[in-house]
Structure 1
């Protein structure tokens, strides 16, 4: 019966990913990848942790690669929503700096399992074109979304960007990724001086001389 339902869903292209069980599966996969890595996060293990049948994972997602891709998409939506909320009321350069720093601190302050998901998927993407495509789309969305937000702030007279909005957004994400990787690899690293220097670079990027 599960096979018939799954086949029907595949033919119609429908997946009810907004359901509670689908969300539980996504959360269970994120936790498993963070704790054990992508390779060890099997459908059997994830199904047990989500409290659902293995067949249901196949019904919703079809493959482990598609489930991992859904984890990436979900995380992307959450972080973009958080960024929008932080930037919404920014009326000065310092407001924007504060919003971006809070966004980075929130990510770095999360459970290390959540950070590990991105880096695990980067590794898994070398073997899976589907995951690689999803990660590429993820980074494109992050860059484009931040670039548009910076462009709007510049048009409002809040900022004077040191370069093209897409280039500035790419540099900001590169800085954030670099800090994240180093802190994940060395949690005891005293990054305070580096963080202060990064703040100065951030202000230079957002408030270029006239």
Structure 2
């Protein structure tokens, strides 16, 4: 049975998105071209602009989708954690999965940098961050941590910073856990 035109179109979009997700960490956001994405996806260059309004729109969709998936793992952590200390341990363990120089980390860094120059991308990225911090804050509030929004913002920023620094100076995150635990405890975590 042959695929319909819409099925073929979805497959081309999926291939282009996957190619963009691979190329941004490999080359850097600014060095990815329509031609390189099309070549990686195994399609004609004209299909990039047929399926996306621009190369930047493709890169943004690919990056935001990947980051949304990565942050989606937080839901599982929030379900598993029974105490604020345990949540800190789980969040730090999640960061430990990344080296700072792996493709997922590099995609995140490149996306953050590109967002400083692209207001639409900045808005989408800010929305992801707001959602992430909001879920952490709601969990912290349910578990008796005072100032849950501020505490969630500090936890998110600290974890992002650790990941960013790891690319330059790989260090185990074990030293970070007690500090983050103290932040949670100082705000009333049980």
What TM-score results when the alignment is normalised by the length of structure 2? 0.81
- CA RMSD across the alignment: 2.7
State the match for 1:147 in structure 2. Answer: 137
- Runs of 4+ with >4 A deviation: none
1:182 matches 2:165: yes
State the match for 2:106 in structure 1. Answer: 116
String of CA shifts for 1:8-40, please: whole Å, max 9, x gaps.
xxxxxxx99x93332222221121110111111
Do the aligned partners of 1:29 and 1:46 also contact (CA within 8 Å) in 2? Answer: yes
1:68 matches 2:48: no
Give the CA deviation at 1:147: 1.9
The 5-angstrom pairing of residues 26-45 of structure 1 reads 26-45=17-36
Change in CA separation of 1:151 and 1:80 when aligned onto 2, cut-off 3 Å = farther
* Higher mean C-alpha displacement, 88-97 vs 66-75: 88-97
State the match for 2:45 in structure 1. Answer: 54
State the match for 1:169 in structure 2. Answer: 152
Out of 67, 82, 88, the residue aligned to residue 91 of structure 1 is: 82
The gaps in structure 2 that reach 5 residues or longer are: 1-5
Change in CA separation of 1:146 and 1:72 when aligned onto 2, cut-off 3 Å = farther
Distance 2:128 2:56 in 1: 15
What TM-score results when the alignment is normalised by the length of structure 1? 0.75
Do the aligned partners of 2:22 and 2:103 also contact (CA within 8 Å) in 1? Answer: yes
